[in-house]
Chains A and B, each alone.
Chain A
Amino acid sequence: MLEIKNLYVKAGNHEILKGVHLKVNAGEVHSIMGPNGSGKSTLAQVLAGRETYEVTRGEVLYEGKNLLEMAPEERACEGVFMAFQYPVEIPGVSSAQFLKAALNAIRRARGLEELDAMEFLALVKQKFKVLGVDEKLLHRSVNEGFSGGEKKRNEIFQMALLEPRLCILDETDSGLDIDALKIVASGVNGLRSPGRAILVITHYQRLLNYIIPDYVHVLVEGRIVRSGGKELALELEEKGYALIEGGAGAAAPGRR
């Protein structure tokens, strides 16, 4: 589904990703772990189409197509979804207005009929129930005045609503208490399916107790320095990134 080949990315004069390779098949859950500043968000943002990053080498294929040539909204319409590490507040735009615009844009792209206000509301309420989201959210401005946990939960809610095929979660677990973490994890687990791939980016091993990955990759200084099964996450938790080959003196995940 996703194939990243020798990806080099810079922002300004700063080279952040230095030759990333990654292959993700439909139905798989991959986790990317790495210390602060290793380039995790950069990778997520590049996959979603953020233009402040410059790809200098390499390529990214998504379902056989050149992902890097597509505008962010095209990627979303083709089924790519990235849950932001720091979701953006949009004052004055209600969640209802935003979600309806997004859902209908994606439905149009998929050749489905747009939903009217009533149909939209019915669908949203059903998804709200599953994730335990308060309906009042619809009338609030997008992410404005939300707590950290509410913002993260809102990202997962959007993901559930838009039903993407490739889900990228950028530190969706950071800053969550254990209850919120479980809700987020169950939301993600509910989306696991043979036709869908999930990329869980995290700094801490904790989330992976609830979302069990098929593969774990370690990103250090812009390179994937090791890949393995789910046990690699536990090993990292014990030994710290410093002991992983190529890692240069970074702290253990979960310890600050």
Chain B
Amino acid sequence: MVAVTPATDRYLENFDRFARVAADSGQEWLRPVRQAAIARFAELGFPTIRDEDWRFTNVAPIAQASFARANGSRTELSPRDIDQFAVPGLVGPQLVFVNGRYAPRLSSPGSLSDGATVSSLAQAFTDARTVLEPHLARYADYARDGFTALNTAFMEDGGFVYVPRGRVIEAPIRLLYVSTETADPIVTHPRNVIVLEEDSQAVIVEEYVALGAEVYFSNVVTEVVVGQNSVLSHYLIERDSEQAFNVSTLRVQQGRSSNVASHTVLLGGALVRNNVHPVMAGEGSECLINGLFMATGRQHMDNFMRVEHASPHCDSRQFYNGILDGRSHGVFSGRIIVHKDAQKTDAKQTNKNLLLSEEAQIDSKPQLEIYADDVKCTHGATIGQMDEGAIFYLRSRGIAEDAARALLLFGFANESLERMKVGPIRKYLEALVTQWLPQGKLVEES
């Protein structure tokens, strides 16, 4: 049943070489989990559309392509090359990764006091084993998902953030992944590990950008542990090249009374799969899952939510807005799982989609699995065109039709941006979204 493709074999071959090198570089302690993960990948392979969770997304283009591993010759970039990705007004630690590897000369991790750490994962493998070991690969389940298994087998770099008990880090921590032109299409397996101990607070901004229009595959796993009474905002901004593949999994483990906001904006990539998987393991925790995806041309964007209520009195709020133009295909699957003991769960899900062309397509599917009896779960999805009544309202005030349409479209996207609290990020995204809009210039001018 496993689809063993030449590419699957290639990953297995590569793994042997990779594991030997890794073992020599002081990462011996990772060997068991890497071995287990590659063994699992060998069994699972890549998912197919026969797999319920992948019904609307065919990953054959990834499974059948042959990607080279990214290491070896590192691309040297100068700070000027990445100026274009600066967020005006954003001050805080920034780690830059080029083709998946940490680029110290482009980065400014700053120095945090009181034992808080922002570093590359590669460095944390040697320096922060005691913090990492209890969490790494404990939550992102490589037994269930081939992509996570592959990431876990090959993980070697990414962002590492550790916030000790009681520390509040107000400045957003940005992890910027830059893809450059390479001789052959490459695959990277960025792995981010974020650990917030109790009563702490942090903001993480993960962003994927490209310098060219090349083909590559980013297979990302971000593992987040949010301790009791802690507050985390996570932003994922995906602006990959138009030929790129991006599969990412955000796995959040929430402690008692913790508060998490996950904000996602998908703008780029040829084939994108965005898994968001919070588990509200501690009583009274809250989770906001806010997303915007905008696709055009032949882009395919699949948003797969898996929101687990594992304890009583937890609240989750999902809001995803999609704008689909050209011949693009969007997917929203919103699974809410309420465990047996999770009484007084309050879960809400809203997915709104605008289709701007006849050939654009959206599959929206809520999925409720409820094993407790005292719960409040609501979901709603809309698929439609722009509201002609609203267009008329704007026009009746003197605004030209094309500007009215642009403004309305901006408003639809902006519903998602308005939920984001970090001002400079919101402004940055407003600009990116406006650029994306077919008549975005009219919004700027008005």
Per the CB 8 Å criterion, the residue count for chain B at the interface is 27
Closest to B395 in A: A72
Contacts of A90 in B (CB 8 A): 390, 393-394, 407-408, 411
CA distance A162 to B396 in the complex (A): 11
Assess the B397–A98 pair: CB atoms within 8 A: yes
Q: How far is the CB of B163 from chain A (nearest CB, A)?
A: 32
Is A101's CB under 8 angstroms from B411's CB? no
Whether A91 contacts B398 in the complex (CB less than 8 A), given A97-B446, A100-B446, A101-B403, comes out as: no
When distances are taken between beta carbons in the complex, the residues of chain A under 8 Å from B28 are none
B139 at the interface (CB under 8 A from A): no
Name the prevailing secondary structure of the B interface residues: helix
Q: Nearest-CB distance from B399 to chain A (Å)?
A: 5
Q: Is B145 an interface residue (CB 8 A)?
A: no
Bound Cα distance from A90 to B389, whole angstroms: 10
Q: For residue B414, which residue of chain A has the nearest CB?
A: A92
- Known contacts A88-B390, A92-B415, A92-B418: does B397 contact A102 (CB below 8 Å)? yes
| Nearest opposing residue in chain B for A108, CB measure | B398
Determine, out of A76-84, A213-221, A235-243, the stretch whose residues face the partner at the interface. Answer: A76-84
Q: Are A49 and B395 in contact (CB under 8 A)?
A: yes
A109 and B398 form a contact (CB under 8 A): yes
Complex Cα spacing A117 to B393, Å: 23
Pairs across A and B, CB under 8 Å, 20 listed:
A48-B392, A73-B398, A73-B400, A73-B404, A75-B396, A76-B395, A76-B397, A81-B396, A81-B397, A84-B393, A87-B393, A88-B387, A91-B412, A93-B407, A93-B411, A97-B407, A101-B394, A102-B394, A105-B400, A105-B403
> Would you list the 5 A-B pairs with minimal beta carbon distance, nearest first?
A92-B411, A101-B446, A92-B414, A93-B411, A76-B398
Q: Which residues of A contact B (CB under 8 A)?
A: 48-52, 71-73, 75-77, 81-82, 84, 87-93, 97-98, 100-106, 109, 141, 158, 162
**Which residues from chain B sit less than 8 Å from chain A, CB to CB?**
387-390, 392-401, 403-404, 407-408, 410-415, 417-418, 446
**Known contacts A81-B396, A89-B390; 15 further A-B pairs (Cβ under 8 A):** A49-B396, A71-B395, A72-B395, A73-B401, A76-B396, A82-B396, A87-B393, A90-B393, A91-B411, A93-B410, A93-B414, A101-B403, A102-B397, A103-B398, A106-B397
